[in-house]
Each structure stands twice: as structure tokens, then as C-alpha cells.
Structure 1
């Protein structure tokens, strides 16, 4: 069958790969000139297959005043006259309970395990060069109470088949990652996951697009998707800036733009953009002062991932609507965090700033299903785990679509 995928980010590309491997004809449409230029471009670079705690957590309730009113909070709500934001926010708060968090954790771990298997199979086949590393991850916690909360999360995950993880002391964390030595007094403990990985998602997207093109996948770039034309319970065409394109099946993988595209079809997607920022630093001149192990500082809501001679620094979660502006103070905040955690790792002479809108569901579990028409498939809502989960939802959908082919 012929499948038309709308969106050439890592989520759409992963689906294109899985469907191509299953023997289907695939066309990918995107408004950008080449793949991976949207939310996939400057993400945190971590592949967090084993530590997937949902943002919707019971602890959010205690943080609400800070989230709503503190301008310096790394996790911020900016209330707007937007019914979609309010509806999503209420669904998010409803998910902030122990039972729902445990269910989401189980679903995310299962999906992440599938995603890892399929990403690694793709990597072996494509043989790309995208600064892939398997140096593990440390999640730092500022207080003993936070460490104990993390311990409880690990207990939950251990019953669900998560990869081995353990709580380590600050001394043990520094032994694992010596570049943390100067920051040691600032954290009370950490979760160490030896099996976690990192890679440059944008490089994956670029090289995977090239490989897919060589292997028969058609890319229609510089082409905006305008709407989907439905007749008699089926999608008969996707209307684009270059005219109508037809296929047997259609997949929507347009991140937050999926919401507006699906609304005329009566599909109310519970997806809202979580704005985040990143910068990429050259650390070649001070390699020993930059981490090799991926680091997540839970207090600062900042992640650090080593990509060869570069360090990707990403952080903050803002619910501020469809806004891609990059205020200087946000980038300065990431620079300050980097200098605090890894002093002297870079001269900050060349900072590559970026902002992205991560499409999230209230529970953090992505939407990967048929909806709205017999031949329409949704693939969105991956939130901050898009890179981690992309090949998992791709494999799920390829299997589902294979049953109706």
C-alpha cells in the first residue's frame, strides 16, 4: 500500500523507515527544505529508555503557586485566553495522581523498550554517524527528600521491567563523572542508569532521510500541508501548497500542528506544546571539564548530553502557546546553569541557541492510532520523549497498518 506521512521530524521519519522496511510505498511531506528542522533539531539529545517519569506527577500540586506566578521557574504556565490550553491544563492536573502516573510509567517503559530495539536495528542497517554514545545517565537530585522520591519511582519501574538503575551518593556520582566534582556540594544524590544513550537527533534525521531516499521513499519538501479531504469515511487526498497528493493511507506526524489539521475532521487531539530551549557548545578545548555521561539536573530542569566535541544543553518547560521566540534571558539561564554545573567547560564564544515546541499529551503517553477515517493514522504527542519514543510508535503503527493492508 501507499502511505503518505505528513511531517519529516524524527517521528515521521521513524514511521517512514518502519513502513519502508515492511515493504510499503511511502511519501513524506513537510514544509521545511529538509528533514528534522522542527522540534527534532535541537532537542536534549538523550535517549531516555529507562527513566521515563511523566511530567504529570502528584508532586505538581505542591509546585502550582510557583509554576503559575514565579517568572524564574524552569517549569512555567502562562495562562492565556485559549480554551485548548485550559482544557489541556485541566486534563494534565487530573493526571497528577499516583495511580495515573504509575500507569503512564508502565506504558512509557514498554514503548521505550520497543523503541530502543527498533532504533538500534535501524542504526545497524543505516550505519549513520550521529555522535552516538552509550555512556549512561545520571539524574541529580538537590535534597535527600528528592532522592527518596526518586527511589520510590525506581521501585515502581523495577517491577515493570526497567533496565538496572541505582541510587548513588554524590561521591559515587563524581566517580562515574569526574566533571561533576565542582558541583558535588549542590546535590544530595543521583539515579544512575548505565544503559542510557545519546545522539544528535538532527544528524539522525538528515542521514535517515538520505538513506530512505536511496531506498525508494519519496520526499516532498518545501510543501505546506493545508488540509485533509475526507469523503465517505475515508481520506481521499491531502491538500498542499503544491496541489493534492493521494495515497491509500495517511499518517499525521506534524507535532503540535497536528491539532489544527485534525480539528476540521472532528478529532480533538489532547496535545499542547511544551516549549523548551537549548544551546550547543564547543567543548573541544576543555574536554575533561565537560561530561561524558549524560546528566539531568532535576532542580534546574536542565539536561546535558555530550555529542563528540560538542555539549548539548537543554531545559525548561513552558506552556506559552505557539511561540518560538528565544528571549536572551532564557539562553543566559542555560549558560549560567552550564557554568555552575561544569565550570570552565566552554568559553561560550559560539552559542547555538534554539527553541522547540514539544507536542505533549496530559499523561505523556503519545497518540499512535487510527482515528477520524478508516485510513487516517495519528502519530503525535511524544512530548519531551520524541527522540526516545519515535521508533516505538512507528513500530506500533506499522504493525496496526499491516493488519488492514
Structure 2
């Protein structure tokens, strides 16, 4: 029986380990911290299988320049003396066109549907209530008529969406009552869910520990991947060297440096995002539906008895410190949009790094080494794509034919 080592204990690494176990491999997991404590810890919690629009699109560079001069804008940029930042930006701008956006969107929709089905496969072994999973549906609301009309004009892939006026948005979701007069309209989709990503990670880690082929989770710093003779021969860590037949790199933004040490360039950049979490009291008007405020790029989700709000893209390198101004600005926006949704006096803030590719498509599968595999670059949709990405990854390691063409989802 072949053995695999998975590097990374976030939602991508944990799901990779699970699907490799189910594919018949013995698996060891390497993680620097407790599982799910980095980008997976307090993300937006939305499982948006149909709303997968890449960040790169026609007109985005112009919008980005406008955002940079807005006090409450969704984007912040700090130039670095790091060629990787500028190389990523150049490739991002090159992808900002309608044709590339349409191709990537089509591929991400396939991955999203696979992820939705794969999540359902876990239900017999991972009860949905263990991580506050809820079939909430998703509503994207638009403040400008032009953005709303453009969204309505896009094809409806499965004919299930509902187009709503601003007033109808507030009827469908009363938490939007305060901003209903400001909305041009909204689009609602059934089948989109919300859940607690960290609780999912903790529950899945417990299931891994009970699996008969799981070799254990090792808490250690990974120093380097060892290459010899055109193959990977081990992983050096603070707990010693570990060896296996296959090695899976699923360590978020840290994957970039680990891959570079064996000559692989991964086009990843850490997009820093913020989240706020506020407890919901009896009588609060918290949203039952998952909400995305399109122009402001703010996501709202009720997770258990708390309101989770996620927003912002800060291109400031690998910096996870909380910027008080960013937190204060986001808090003001949330209070204005949903003034009675939660107890904002007890709000807590978090920031994490989302490892993104220039075209928003993850990188899954083979490398130039026969036994080194990748599952990286899911960006802000890590939770959404985790199960589908893991299923594809395990199939690739096993040698199975993929369920759809993987062009656009592999190492370029």
C-alpha cells in the first residue's frame, strides 16, 4: 500500500488527506499549527458553488484605481521590492478581459458543482450540524443600475436564479430593509450554503484520526522538500525527515516558497482579507440568506449564532496584522447595511491570507516531479472548492481519469 504525505492542515490539506485515504493511500499530515488556524479559521463561510466569478475581468484595473482612492474602498495596495508581486500583477492584468474571464468562470463552475456533490458525499461520516452547515441560498445585491443590468444579462446556467427588485430583496431578506431604497436589485440562487470552515476542519481532523489508514498528524515546521535524481525523496521538518511514495503540497501561501526550493514557480500571491464576527441576540434581525454586496465586495453569512462578515483585498505581502482603520471602516459599513443584525458592541476582527492565482483558478495535480502533487491557489473560495479539489487531487495521484477536462486547473 502506497503512502502519501500532505503538507498543510487547512481546509485544502485536510480534505486532500481524506480523499487520499478513501482512494486507498496511507496518509501522514504535516502542519505547523493546529489544524484550520490560518486562512481557514474565520473566512466568510459561504459555499458559493454557482457564484464563482474570477477577480480578473474587463474593467477591473480601472475600478481598482478608483478603489485605491476611496477611504472605504475594498482594495489596498502597498508596493513591495519583491518581483513575485509585480509578476503576479502583470499576469492578473493580462487576464482582465471578457474572454479569459468567461473561460475561467466555466471551469470554476465545473469545479464548484463537483465540490457541491463531494461535500454531500461526506455527510454520512461528517454530520452537517457538526460545522453549522445550512442551505441558506445566496443573494447578490447591486447598488448601481449598470452593474445590476450587466448581471441580469449574463446567461443563467441552470435556469434557477430569481431576479429581484430592491424592494423584493428586502421582502425576501428582511435584514436588508435599511438599504432597500439604495438597491437597484438582486439575484437569488437556491442551493448555496453557509458553514463554519474552522469547525469543518476540526470535525474532519477528528474523522482523519479515526481512519484505519491515517498515519498521524505531525505538528512541525516544514523546512524544505528534498529532491534527488528527479524525484522527491523526503520532507525536512523541525521534527525530522519524513518519507513517503507521494507528496502533496497544500500549504496555502507557504506552498510558494516550498515549491520554489525545488525549482517550481507557483503564481500565488497572498490577498489579505478581513472578517468580523458578532454574536446574534434574541430579537436581532440577522440574515437567513447568504448575502454579497456586489459593489462594496462585502459578504454576510449567519453561521450558527453569529454573524460573519468578510471583505477587502489588501495586497500588502504576507502581513496578517489587523489595520484598525480597515476594521473600523468595515464595521461602519456593516452597521449601516444591517443595523439590527447582531451585537456590534461585541464584534471581533480577524485577518488572513488567501493564496490566489492571477486568474482565480486553483492549481491541482501533477508537477514536473513524478511524485510531487499540488492542491493550491483556491484564493477566497478555498472552502467552496475544497472537497472538489481534493477529489480531483486524489484521482490524479491514483491515476484515475478526471470527471472533466482539467485545462486551466493545472500547473501552467
TM value normalised by structure 1: 0.95
Pick aligned residue for 1:349 from 333, 345, 348: 345
Match of 1:252? 249
- How many pairs align? 397
Indicate the RMSD between aligned Cα atoms, in angstroms. Answer: 1.5
Pick aligned residue for 2:360 from 361, 364, 378: 364
Residue 21 (str. 1) matches residue 18 (str. 2): no
The alignment partner of 1:247 has SS state of coil
1:89 offset after TM fit, Å? 0.2
Give the Cα–Cα distance (whole angstroms) in 2 for the partners of residues 162 and 12 of structure 1: 31
Flag structure 1 segments of 5+ consecutive residues without an equivalent. Answer: none
Q: Provide Cα deviations, 1:206-259, integer angstroms capped at 9, x if missing partner.
A: 010011101132343430111011111111100000000001000000111100
Residue 267 (str. 1) matches residue 261 (str. 2): no
The alignment partner of 2:339 has SS state of coil
Q: Provide Cα deviations, 1:309-365, integer angstroms capped at 9, x if missing partner.
A: 111011001111100000112222222122111112223232221101000001100
Match of 1:3? 4
Match of 1:121? 121
Match of 2:329? 333
Give the Cα–Cα distance (whole angstroms) in 2 for the partners of residues 165 and 346 of structure 1: 28
Pick aligned residue for 2:221 from 219, 224, 230: 224
Contact 1:3 1:250 in 2 (8 A): yes
Distance 1:162 1:30, change over 3 A: farther
Give the Cα–Cα distance (whole angstroms) in 1 for the partners of residues 159 and 28 of structure 2: 36
Flag structure 2 segments of 5+ consecutive residues without an equivalent. Answer: 401-412
Distance 1:390 1:163, change over 3 A: farther
Give the Cα–Cα distance (whole angstroms) in 2 for the partners of residues 137 and 363 of structure 1: 23
Q: What is the 5 A alignment of 1:79-158?
A: 79-128=79-128, 129-153=130-154, 155=155, 158=156
1:70 offset after TM fit, Å? 4.3
1:152 offset after TM fit, Å? 3.1
Give the Cα–Cα distance (whole angstroms) in 2 for the partners of residues 218 and 356 of structure 1: 29
Q: What is the 5 A alignment of 1:178-193?
A: 178-193=174-189
TM value normalised by structure 2: 0.93
The alignment partner of 1:284 has SS state of coil
Give the Cα–Cα distance (whole angstroms) in 2 for the partners of residues 133 and 68 of structure 1: 35
Give the Cα–Cα distance (whole angstroms) in 2 for the partners of residues 344 and 179 of structure 1: 8
1:22 offset after TM fit, Å? 1.4
The alignment partner of 2:219 has SS state of coil
1:69 offset after TM fit, Å? 4.5
Match of 2:73? 73
Q: Provide Cα deviations, 1:171-223, integer angstroms capped at 9, x if missing partner.
A: 22112111111110121111111211000000000010011101132343430
Residue 298 (str. 1) matches residue 299 (str. 2): no
Give the Cα–Cα distance (whole angstroms) in 2 for the partners of residues 325 and 225 of structure 1: 23
Match of 1:234? 231
Q: After the TM superposition, which of the residue ranges 258-267 and 162-171 deviates more from structure 2?
A: 162-171
Contact 2:28 2:218 in 1 (8 A): no
Q: After the TM superposition, which of the residue ranges 391-400 and 40-49 deviates more from structure 2?
A: 391-400
Contact 1:286 1:346 in 2 (8 A): no
Residue 403 (str. 1) matches residue 399 (str. 2): yes
Contact 2:175 2:340 in 1 (8 A): no
Give the Cα–Cα distance (whole angstroms) in 2 for the partners of residues 121 and 49 of structure 1: 15
1:6 offset after TM fit, Å? 0.2
The alignment partner of 2:93 has SS state of helix
Contact 2:307 2:341 in 1 (8 A): no
